[in-house]
Structures are given as C-alpha cells and as structure tokens.
Structure 1
Amino acid sequence: MLIADRYEPTGASACGGMGEVHKCVDRHLGRDVMLKKMRQGKNVARLIDEQKALVKLRSKHVVQLLDIIVVDGNFGSKDVCLALEHIDGRDLQEGSWEPNEDFIKALWQVASGLADIHEAGIIHRDIKPNNMRVDGEGVIKILDFGLAREAGKDDKTRSIIGTVGYMAPELWGEKTISFSSAVDAYAFGVMALALLNRTLPKEFSQSPPAPVPSSFVTSHIPEFSREISCVIQDCLSHDVAHRPSLAQVRDILARYILKDRHRARMVMGSTVYEINSGKRDVNLKSPIGNLHVHYDGFSFSVRSASGEVWINNGTPKEGMKMPPACVITFGGSQRRNRHFLTFDVSNPEVMA
C-alpha cells in the first residue's frame, strides 16, 4: 500500500513522544525516506505552516525535510506526515567522548547546523545527544523538529515541554513564556558537557536548573582552550542576553580547529617566502625599509615595520593584521628602483 500514492512502508517503525516514524521507499525517486506521522496537539493547518520553513532549510548538518503530506486518520481526522531524509547511522551518546580534537570537531558540526537553523528563523527547542545522528561518513545531522517554532511568529508557550536537563531556565515559567534561539544555545552548552566522559554538575538535574559556578567549564575541562571554555560557559548563562549566538560558537570552534594550518606566501620576482607553523616569521630587510611578519597560529600580523614600506599603499603599524591578499611596496614613488611583493594567505576550511 502506498501512502499519498508515493511512499511504500518497509515494515520498520518506531514510536516517539512526538509521533510515529516509519521507514519507507519513495517510489517516485527510488530512495529510502523516514515518514513521520505527527501527533495532533494542534490543528492541521497550523502544524503544516510551522513545518514549511524547514522545507526551505538546506544544511549539511540538518536532516532534510523532503515533503509534507496530509493523510486520512482515524474517525475522519487528518494526519500530517513529514517525509524526511533517511540517515543510516548512530545517535550521539552521553558520556562517550574525550575532550580532544575529534570532540571539538563534533561540537563544531552541531554548532554549524544550529547556526543554519537559526539563520532560517527556526528555534529547535529539543537539542540533546539522541537528536543528533552520525552518518556513515562521520557527518553529524540534527534531527527531530517536533518542538520547533518559527522565531518571531510562534515563539511563545504556556506549557513546560522539553527534556529535563537540557531545558533553558526561562522555559520553566508558569505563565505564557516568550523564548528565542537562546534556548538552543543553553541546550548546546549542556550537551557539550554531557557528551564527555565526566560527571555532570547536579545543577543541571534540578527543575528548573540552577546556575553553575562561573569557572565550572574551565575547571571541569582543563584540556580546552580558555576561549572555548568561556563560550561554552556563556551558553549556560541564566542571562539570556549573555548567551552567544551559535554562529559565534561555530566560528570560535573553527578558529581552534584550524590553528596552525594557515599558510602565507610572499613573492618578489623569483623569490618566494613562506610563513606557516614551521616557520612563523619572515623578516624582510633592505637599505630603505624593514618589515617583520609573524604568524601566531590564527592570523598573520606585522611584528615591526620601519622605513619606506607600504601595504596596499597604507603605512603598516605594529600589531596590524595582514590582509588575506595585498601588495607590499618597498620604496617611495620618487625612487626608480622600487620593490613590490605580493602577499597571499591560504585559508583552510574545517572538513566534517
């Protein structure tokens, strides 16, 4: 039997808090999909409207919503079904990671997916490890948008709903509650700690959660850089305005993943100077000017400059960040024998 004249169930199914999930074959495109029948807690039109924003969302780290269909339910009712990308893999597990580079990359993948979700104007509201799945290529995808709301349109609730331990403190109010994407930032911070093979603080298990000490992440995970510890600590803030955006979290994590992986080349005629983690400094000296460029693992900057030296026709200052592509000039316009060097940075990308 085909559902909506297209989807053929294969027999594999499961039930969850937000509905039933059935593995199906899309007979039109010849691919596996997951068909999720949503539990009816609201009218069909509103439920469809809430899911439409997800159809437009395209992210490597978010399960793709392929189709929304309405089928006949029991007693003359209508059921909303979501056709979702099928991901063959395993869910993230609490307490299964060590604080190493692989873990930072995993957090970066989740932060990247959440940043894409928030950019699309969606609040997930149920971020936790078993709503993250690792596919066969090691790519982490965010699942289960059963509690998702559109920011600015449907970002209020009168019910306490979510997963205890991951729910932000502002979601525990007794009256109508307004919330924002900051609830996902809080859950991300909790998840970052829950995934590690470390004991979680008792504050997270309280209802509502109590604040953790301001230095908790630094002391709990001394292996992390200070900047990473601080941004995770900020995610856990009870002050909503103090929590970072997931785009900020993503960029900080990427900064450390890519540390010492940049390269810069300075070319003058047939002479090439390269700056990288193995050779962090180039000191160019001439009778008319000197320029010292340094690489600190994150960026290239001017360590010192003197004499007739210009970068893109501007005067270099100590500590100035080098542009990713520029021309360095030795000698003023009054000189016949001026020297020109090109400076180019090769910027690596995080590979999930």
Structure 2
Amino acid sequence: SIVIEENTLGHGAFGKTGVFRDAISKKQVLIKSIQFFNESDLEASKKEVSVMQILKSEFVVKCYGYFIKEKTINIVMEYCEKGDLQKFIDNLQKEHKIISEQEFFDLASQLASGLSFIHSKQVIHRDLKPSNIFISGNNRIKIGDFGISMIMDEQDYANTVAGTKLFLSPEMLKKWSYTEKVDQWSLGIILFILAELKYPFDISNELNLVNSITNDIPAPFVNLKNETAQKLILLLLSKDASKRPTSDELLQIPEIASFQMSEFNKEKILNHYH
C-alpha cells in the first residue's frame, strides 16, 4: 500500500533512503533501499531487519519489515521527523548554543535507556554515533541503524573491527576482544560532543586519532560545569572497559534516574531547531 515517495533523504554507493507515505493509513515511513549482488549481501540486510525486530522499545527505531524488488531489499522503518542527533549538534554549533544540564541528563537518560534495552537482548550496536540516533516527532530519542550490530555469543566476547573510527573504543582499535562496553565508550564520546560541541581527542589525522583514543585523556571540559556529568563521561571514556559503567548503572545515577521515561523537554529542544 506504500505508493507515494515524498522525499529522498540520502544516497549511498549501493542504495538510498527515502520517506514514503502509506496510501491507506497516511502514515509516513522511512524506506532504506539496498542493492544486493549475492546471497551474502541479502542475508546481511535480512540480519539487520531481524535484529531490529527483536528490539521493540520506544528508544529504538521500529522496523516494520522488508520487501525485495529487482535485486534491492527495501527495509521499512519508523520515520523520525526531527532528523538525527548529528543535525541537532550541527544546529547547536551553528547557533553557538550549549545544552543545559537538564537537557544533558535527559539525553543521557534516553540514550542509556535505549542501550540498556539493546544490551538486555544480547545485542551490541558497534556503530553508535550521532548520525545513527534519531529524534521522533514527540522528541523521543531513538537508536537506529543496526547494519553492523552483532548478537553476543556464550563467550560474551567479540574481536572483529567494525564501526566508525571516531567512535571506536581503544580495545576495538587494538583488535582486542570486546563486549557491549564498546557501546558505552561510544556513548561517552557522544555525550562529550553534546556538552562541549567538539571531539575529545586529537583528530588532526588518522594516526593521531588512533594514538589519542588509545593513550590520551579526553580534552578538558569547558561548557560542562556539572561534576556528576563530567564524572560519568570520564568513566565512560575509561581505557579499561571493565571500569565503564553499564547503561543500567547509569540509570541509577539520581540526575539521570529523575528523567527516566520522562517526555523530552520539548520547548528547549524545539528552540534549537528554529
């Protein structure tokens, strides 16, 4: 029943993403169309669908299913009208605004709630970054893009390198075994960027980036004054993965717990978009 393409959001090497409207329900959906050239390509995309379909949470982008047409798999997903967290950060930078402590803890609460649920289902996202985190029409934060996620096995350790280097943990860069704590590292990077509007390590070139992530302490805080917020970011950015708090532990922090399951602060967030 999906017949009307409203907007093409992006093109990649092997596909595109567009917004469509269901002709019957009038509901907008996002369709990610990916070309496949062999059975393994197709199975990889089907795996993304199967992972998303077991992650039924208000903090995860919904996946409604898929259909195949002319060597293209089309994944039908929830459409988040406010775009992604990268757009939100770009707007903050452009307008020289910083988020309030209240907004920081609200965002941290929603992201931790999403990761807590994902990890409870034995899934590691492995590519958590602002462009994979979406904002719905009612200002709910939703984690999406599970294309390189993996399901933990009985060992609870993995060792394949995946993800975007800026958000990769030291253990992944060193090609060591890792757990879901790699997502906690990525969360620490995201929260630092949200608060400081800059990256915490040296990004002058790729070699410096890898060395800085694995060896340096994060850049000092300038915008973020709250000591609890500073401490939780530094803990998430521990080189030793075992010292990083789980998302369940983050949700026990009073400042974060007070926002758990609350509606996003609509007025302030909307001000950042206009």
TM-score class normalised by the smaller sequence:
0.7 to 0.9
For residues 156-171 of structure 1, what are the structure 2 equivalents within 5 Å? 156=158, 158=160, 160-171=161-172
Segments of 5+ residues of structure 1 without an aligned counterpart are 1-5, 74-78, 262-347
The aligned residue for residue 45 of structure 1 is: 43
Give the superposition deviation at 1:178: 3.9
The alpha-carbon deviation at position 192 of structure 1 amounts to 0.5
Q: Determine helix, strand or coil for the equivalent of 2:251.
A: helix
Counterpart CA distance in 2 for 1:126 and 1:109 is 17
Aligned position for 2:271:
none
Given that 1:50 and 1:149 are in contact with CA atoms closer than 8 Å, whether structure 2 keeps it comes out as no
Tell me which residue corresponds to 2:272.
none
Deviation of 1:47 (Å)? 3.5
Residue 20 of structure 1 aligns to a residue whose secondary structure is strand
Q: Distance in 2 between matches of 1:26 and 1:100?
A: 39
Alignment partners' CA distance in 2, 1:69 and 1:123: 25
Match of 1:127 in 2: 128
TM-score, scaled to structure 1: 0.61
Once the two structures are TM-superposed, the CA of residue 234 in structure 1 deviates from its matched residue by 1.6
Asked if the contact 1:99–1:224 (Cα under 8 Å) also holds between the matched residues in 2, the reply is: no
Aligned to 2:57: 59
Distance 1:204 1:212, change over 3 A: farther
In structure 1, C-alpha distance between the alignment counterparts of 2:67 and 2:178, rounded to whole Å? 29
- Kindly report the root-mean-square deviation, in angstroms, between the aligned alpha carbons of the 2 structures: 3.1
2:83–2:134 Cα contact (<8 Å) kept:
yes
- Report the equivalent of 1:184: 183
Percent sequence identity over aligned pairs: 22
Distance 2:123 2:184 in 1: 13
2:101 matched to 1:100? yes
Cα distance in 2 for partners of 1:172, 1:257 equals 30
Residues 229-276 of structure 1: CA distance to partner in whole angstroms, max 9, x if unpaired? 333212111212222211212332xx11566x9xxxxxxxxxxxxxxx
From 2, 6, 25, give the equivalent of 1:7: 2
Identify the match of residue 210 of structure 1 among 210, 214, 235.
214
Structure with larger Rg: 1
CA contact (8 A) 1:201 1:212 kept: no
CA contact (8 A) 1:98 1:197 kept: no
Q: 1:33, CA displacement in angstroms?
A: 0.9
Alpha-carbon spacing, 1:84–1:224, altered in 2? closer, same or farther (3 Å):
same
What secondary structure does 2:106 align onto?
helix
- Deviations for 1:258-317, whole angstroms, at most 9, x for unmatched residues? 66x9xxxxxxxxxxxxxxxxxxxxxxxxxxxxxxxxxxxxxxxxxxxxxxxxxxxxxxxx
CA 1:197–1:46 in structure 2 vs 1: closer, same or farther (change >3 Å)?
closer
| Greater helix share, structure number | 2
- Alpha-carbon shift at residue 188 of structure 1 (Å): 0.3
Counterpart of 2:227 in structure 1 is 225
- 3-state DSSP of counterpart to 1:94: helix
| CA positional deviation for 1:46 | 4.5
User: Partner of 1:83: helix, strand, or coil?
Assistant: strand
The answer as to whether partners of 1:11 and 1:22 remain within 8 angstroms in 2 is: yes
Shift of 1:189: 0.1
The reply to whether residue 82 of structure 1 matches residue 87 of structure 2 is no
Query: How far does the alpha carbon of each residue in 1:124-174 deviate from its partner, in whole angstroms, 9 at most, with x for none?
Result: 12212222222332221222222222222897464x442232111222246
CA contact (8 A) 2:152 2:158 kept: no
Secondary structure of 1:102 counterpart:
helix
Query: Larger % of strand: which?
Result: 1
Asked whether the equivalents of residues 196 and 224 of structure 2 are also in contact (C-alpha less than 8 Å), the reply is no
- Consecutive unaligned residues of structure 2, counting only runs of 5 or more, are 93-97, 265-274
For residue 19 of structure 1, report the CA deviation from its aligned partner: 4.0
What is the CA–CA distance in structure 2 between the aligned matches of 1:179 and 1:10, rounded to whole Å?
Answer: 41
Are positions 1:245 and 2:246 aligned together? yes
For 2:31, the aligned partner's letter is L
TM-score, normalising length from structure 2? 0.76
Alignment of 1:184-333 (within 5 A): 184-203=183-202, 206-208=209-211, 209-213=213-217, 220=222, 223-226=225-228, 228-252=229-253, 255-257=254-256
Q: Distance in 2 between matches of 1:106 and 1:11?
A: 30
Measured at CA, do residues 17 and 187 of structure 1 come closer, stay the same or move farther in structure 2, by a change above 3 Å?
farther
Amino acid at match of 1:247: D
With over 3 angstroms needed to count, the CA separation of the structure-2 counterparts of 1:245 and 1:257, relative to structure 1, is: closer
